[in-house]
């Protein structure tokens, strides 16, 4: 049986090859997953399956050019690809710390999608804190990525 780590890596390789990118927005577009930017209150993002169509909702308070937008999009993309029939919310400053199975898997997907081996190599001389300062990614994301290093 395929482990979740193997499945995540396989999905990322496939979508990177097919979409030509590791960008979660480009992958979502390729996979016919719709993205809407809406006011969501204190929720950063949400994935929903509506009438057999996959939707990612991202809070309009998050600038589209920010690393947080990319992290939320990657996390919700993880839900869309790994947990198609589950409706999931990304709670700001909380989800990266949750331990429920599907949230952990979506976090791992986001960490592997956004932090490639090439990116790790490019910052190999930096501390984790310096990596986070340069990329804007949260410490929890790099910690998760290093824990499950390829």
Extract the tokens encoding 119.
């990116």
CA–CA dist 87, 72 (Å, integer): 15
Please provide the average confidence, as pLDDT, over all residues in the chain: 90
Q: What is the DSSP string of 24-44?
A: HHHHHHHTT-EEEEE--TTEE
Question: Two tokens at 75?
Answer: 């996390």
Q: What is the pLDDT of residues 44-80, one digit of tens each?
A: 999 999 999 999 999 999 999 999 999 999 999 999 9
What average pLDDT does range 115-138 have in this prediction? 96
Sign of CA dihedral 69, 71, 74, 76: negative
């Amino acid at each position: 049986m395929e482990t979740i780590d193997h499945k995540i890596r396989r999905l990322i390789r496939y979508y990177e090859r097919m979409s030509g990118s590791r960008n979660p927005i480009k992958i979502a577009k390729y996979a016919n997953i719709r993205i809407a930017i809406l006011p969501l209150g204190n929720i950063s993002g949400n994935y929903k399956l509506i009438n057999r169509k996959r939707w990612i909702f991202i809070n309009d308070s998050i600038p589209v050019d920010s690393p947080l937008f990319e992290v939320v999009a990657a996390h919700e993309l993880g839900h869309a690809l790994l947990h198609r029939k589950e409706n999931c919310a990304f709670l700001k400053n909380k989800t990266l710390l949750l331990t429920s199975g599907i949230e952990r898997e979506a976090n791992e997907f986001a960490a592997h999608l956004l932090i490639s081996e090439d990116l790790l190599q490019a910052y190999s001389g930096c501390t984790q804190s310096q990596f986070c300062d340069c990329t804007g990614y949260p410490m929890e994301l790099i910690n998760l990525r290093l824990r499950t290093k390829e």
